[in-house]
Each structure stands twice: as C-alpha cells, then as structure tokens.
Chains A and B, each alone.
Chain A
Amino acid sequence: MNGTLFKLKANHILKYLFPVLLIYSVAVLIPLVMSFVYSLFDDTGTAFIGLQNYAALLKDSVFWISFKNNIILVVFCVVGQVGIAFIVAALLNTKFLKMRSLHRLAIFLPVVLAPVVTGYLWTIIYNYRFGLLNWFIGLFGMEPGLWLDDPEKVIYMVSIPLIWQYIGLYLIIFLAGMQNIPKEISDAAEIDGANWFQKNLYVNIPMLKGVTQVALMLCISGTMKTFDHIFVMTGGGPGTGSLVMAQHAYNNAFLMSKTGYGSAVSIGMMILSATIILVTMKLIGMSDKNV
C-alpha cells in the first residue's frame, strides 16, 4: 500500500523537481565546474594552459601571506567565538545569573547586522581621532593608536569585529546544547559536590562534544571564507597586512581582470579550507562518528 501511495511520478518530477534543480544548476553547479575550467585557462580565457596557474599559485608569496592571515583569523575566531561563547554560555547557565534572556537577546543582536555594516561600524570605532576605542583607552591614560593602519597589528584588529559579530551565534548554539543535557546528570554532579568548574569540565564539555564539533566546523569554515568585513575595513591593507584569500581572489579576478588566475586562487582557497576542515575533523574525532 505504502509503496504505491508514495510513488514518484514522472510528471511530478518534471513539474516540481526539474525547475528547482535547473535554477540550482545554473547558479551553483555549473559555475562550480566552470571555476575549475577557467583556472586551466590563461587570463584572457582563450588559451588552455593546463596547470600553469596552479604552478604560479604555489609560488605566489602574496597568496601564502593571505593564507597565513586566514589561519591567524581562524585561531583568533576559534578562541574568541567558540571559546568565549562556551564560557559565557556556562555562566548564563548558572542559577544565580540575573536577566538571562536579556543577555541572550543582546549578545545575539550583532549576528543579524550586515557584515558590511559591522565593518564600517568598527572602522569608525577604530578611528584615530574620534573612535570609541581611543576614547576608551584614553580613560586609562593610554596613548591613542592607529589601529587599522599598522600592518603589524591590523590582522588582529580586524579579527575583533568578526568575533564581536558572531560570538552570539555560538553562545546560542551552546545554550541550546546545554538545555539538552538531562537535568538528572547535572543534579547528580551537584549532589556529588561538583563546583562550577568541575561540572563544566566533567559534565558539560563531554556531553557537548557533538555541539562543540559543529561549532568548530562552522567557525573554521566561516572564517576561512571571510571577505565582506575585510573588504570594507581595509581592503586587505595596509600592504598585505590584512589580506585574506577571498580578497586576494577578488583582487585578481575583478580588479586586475585575471579570470584564470583569480579562479585558480579561488580553487586553491577551497582546497586549503577543505584540507584544514578535514584535518580538524580528524583531530577532534569527528570522522569516526560519521557525522
């Protein structure tokens, strides 16, 4: 009975499935294949040059600087988003904390802002003369700084708006995870005399393994493709101080009209991101669970 009732008919496929898949193919699947194809052509898109773009990519020191910058951002965002979010979520989960829902609502608010808005907002916050940051450190008698103009520290400065914007997302993910921990377990831990640290270390962290893995994956893959914030705050500068791979790909493809090489940078970015994600999955033991 069941089989005949839920049988897929050809006209359903034609009427519903086909148009949707056509749209998806035109805008996602075909460009994905074409991206590989373009990377094998020269910058005018006329001559097939095989893997020459990739050979150039391997020797492109600017690309590797942008990769290094991406890695710095990933490290900062993993600590700053996932790490801090976990701690704050654990604090929000203690019984004596007041105004819990208000905290949750407020911390999540930046997530809904456009990355472009966050970028510009922080550019103004970092402004030498009128920025909030220099005003704030002035209260402690510190000298004002040129935050986005120093090639040495710019990559750390641009990581702060990223952390600021998305920390709420991870906070919410951890809070949802903590709510799913059976109450009996945390009650049992309390009866056994576990304090806050012990409860988190021996109950929450092991119980939230799956949630933490998802959060880490999200954070790493999201940070590897950072573009909007960097584009509006620094454009990758000064010099290559805050250049990231996506910005490097954009610069090549759209500012210098190097279609072939720009595509190769994009593919290189995809391969490196995928590698890092796979390595991380292996390290945190995600592969054996077949998630």
Chain B
Amino acid sequence: MYKTGAKIVKVLTNIFVLLFTLSAIFPVVWMLYTSLKTNKEFLANTLSFPIAPTLINYLNTFEVGELRHALFSSVFNTIITVPLIVFFSFILAYFFARFKFRGKGILFGLILIGMLVPLHSLLVPLFVQFKTTGMLDNRFTLILPYIAFNLPLSVFLFQSFIKEIPSEIEEAAYIDGSSFDRTLFRIILPICMPMVATVAILNVLHVWNEFPFALVLNKSPEFYTLPVWLTFFNGAYTTDYTGKIAGLMITSLPTIILYMFFSKRIIQGMTSGSVKG
C-alpha cells in the first residue's frame, strides 16, 4: 500500500515537472513552427502545425521591413564590441587580481557601481552627452556604451578566474626574462581561454539583445538593431501575425543556436556571474 502510494507520487511529480518544462519551452516551439505558416492558416487555427511549411514570412520580412540594415547593425555591433569587451575586461581583471596599488579599492567600487546602477538612469545623460558631441545616429554610436556597460560583469568573471591561477607561473616567466606584455598575452591569456569563451558568449547575448540604448541613441532606420527594428516592424504591420512571428524568430535564432551549442558555458557564466553580482 505504502509502496504504490510512493509510486504514484513519483509519477505525478514527473508529470508535474514535465508540464512545467513544456510551459517553458512550448511558446518558443510554437513561435518556431508558426513562423512557417501563412497568415490565413494561422487565423484559421492558432495551434496547428503548418500543413505546408513555407518560408514566405521570412522572404516577406526581408522585402518590407528594412531587415537587412538591422541584421547588419546587430552583427556589426556584436562583432566589434565583443572582442573589445573581452580584451579590456581581461586586462582590467588582471590588474585587479594581481596588483596592489593605491586607489584599487575605489576603482573596484567604481566598477561595482556599473553592475548595481540601473542603466536606464544613464539614458538621458548619455543621450545629451552624445548629442552635444555629435555622436548620435552613427554606425559607431553604440560601440562605446556597449563596451562600457558590459565591462563590470566580465571583469568580475575574469578576476575570479585569474585569482585561481598560481602566481608562480608569472614569477617563473619574469625570471626567464619575459616582459609584462608577453606574460600577459602569451602566458596568462591562454590559461584564461575557457573564461574568454564564457565571457565572449555571454556578451554576444547581452549585446545582441540590448534594447534601450539602441532605441534612444540611434534614430535612423539605417542603424536600427534587430530589437529596435522589431518594435517598428510590429507597429507597422498590425495584422500580419505570422510575419511578426518570423521577425521574432529572425531576432532569436542566433541566440537560440548559440544556446544549443554553448548552453553549458552560458549557464556557467550566468550563475557564477550572478553569484558574484
């Protein structure tokens, strides 16, 4: 009697968690297959699988919505900023992890501020600052803020990693006559490669998905990033549901694919990053 009871509990628990998992993943799956339906088919039945899967929504999206510009902008911003974020945060973290210097505490505090301050409070001053210096509405406008805002988390991730590396490695290198630059980039950086990958992937996600700064700092459609393009595209084509969903898919596919390949690194980075923050 007791045993069957326990068995029922086990089965019910499995079913419960399975339903929970379905609720997490189903909207994404639904978005995926609905993007392959025609509007007519969608309006006839919200839930059904596409009878004849078609890429027409994707083709239409490329025709009407300035998508090419947005795709280019998003890719451009990501390709330019992510290596620089990795590079700069690695250097900063190395100084924090290895050196004692005057003002280090203050400097560390200033970096910490970047993680705690809601970035929305910086929208207005940054907008004004960029406006007065003529840096608004430009291919390169978002580079600087994207690098700066993603530095703190990346610095913390690198710093905790570098601290674990025994400093005897550098001591040996210096004794062998290695210069500072050489030690930094030829000895420490290769050891940090697993963390380089984690930081890079996390930052691809952050930069790719960023919205408020892209919305405020670049006003011309030429420089819209995908999330911003999506808001205008959605407003303009109010009845084209499957077209909209194709737009959502185009924005999400890169991050979903990235997740499928690097889920372990993403999860690891986000948990250790959040535990640090």
Contact = CB atoms under 8 A, between A and B. Distances in A.
B170 A6 contact: yes
A122 B248 CA distance: 11
Given A246-B118, A253-B124, A27 B144 contact: yes
B125 A263 contact: yes
Contacts of A26: 129, 144, 148
B123 interface: yes
B227 A116 contact: yes
Contacts of A97: 13-14, 17
A117 B46 contact: no
A117 B251 contact: yes
A103 B17 contact: yes
Interface stretch (A148-156, A182-190, A218-226): A218-226
A17 interface: yes
Contacts of B251: 114, 116-117
Interface residues of B, number: 86
B124 A92 contact: no
Interface string B26-45: 01101100000000001100
Contacts of A116: 209, 211, 227, 230-231, 251
Given A110-B24, A130-B42, A164-B27, A32 B92 contact: no
A102 B24 CA distance: 12
B55 interface: no
Contacts of B14: 96-98
Secondary structure at chain A's binding surface: helix, strand, loop or mixed?
Answer: helix
Interface of A: 1-2, 5-6, 8-9, 12, 16-17, 19-21, 23-24, 26-32, 34-35, 37-38, 45, 88, 91-92, 94, 96-99, 102-103, 105-117, 120-122, 124-125, 127, 130-132, 135, 164, 167-169, 172-173, 176, 211, 214-215, 218, 221, 224-225, 227-228, 231-232, 246, 249-250, 253-254, 259, 262-263, 266-267, 269-270, 273-274
B237 interface: no
Interface stretch (B57-65, B190-198, B262-270): B262-270
B51 interface: no
A48 to B, nearest CB: 16
13 contacts: A23-B148, A31-B122, A34-B125, A103-B17, A110-B24, A112-B255, A112-B258, A121-B248, A169-B270, A227-B212, A228-B212, A249-B121, A270-B117
A127 to B, nearest CB: 8
Contacts of B31: 121
Given A88-B20, A113-B28, A250-B212, 5 more contacts: A17-B91, A35-B124, A132-B30, A231-B231, A253-B124
B72 interface: no
In order of increasing CB-CB distance, the 5 nearest A-B pairs are A27-B148, A266-B121, A114-B209, A31-B125, A34-B125
Contacts of A38: 124-125, 128
Given A112-B266, A270-B118, A130 B46 contact: yes
B212 to A, nearest CB: 6
A117 B252 contact: yes
B121 A269 contact: yes
Contact of A114 (B18, B125, B252): B252
A226 to B, nearest CB: 10
Given A218-B274, A269-B121, A121 B27 contact: yes
Contact of B167 (A6, A106, A112): A6
A224 B274 CA distance: 16
Contacts of B107: 21
B123 A266 contact: yes
B129 A31 contact: yes
B13 A24 contact: no
A27 B244 contact: no
Contacts of B121: 32, 35, 249, 263, 266-267, 269-270
B128 A23 contact: no
B1 interface: no
B248 A117 contact: yes
Contacts of B187: none
B223 interface: no
Contacts of A105: 263
A218 B271 CA distance: 11
Given A17-B92, A114-B209, A88 B17 contact: yes
B208 interface: yes
A21 B111 CA distance: 9
Interface string B203-215: 0010011011001
Nearest to B258: A112
Nearest to B173: A5
A110 B275 contact: no
Contact of A96 (B13, B42, B167): B13
Nearest to A260: B124
Interface string B110-135: 11011011111111111111000000
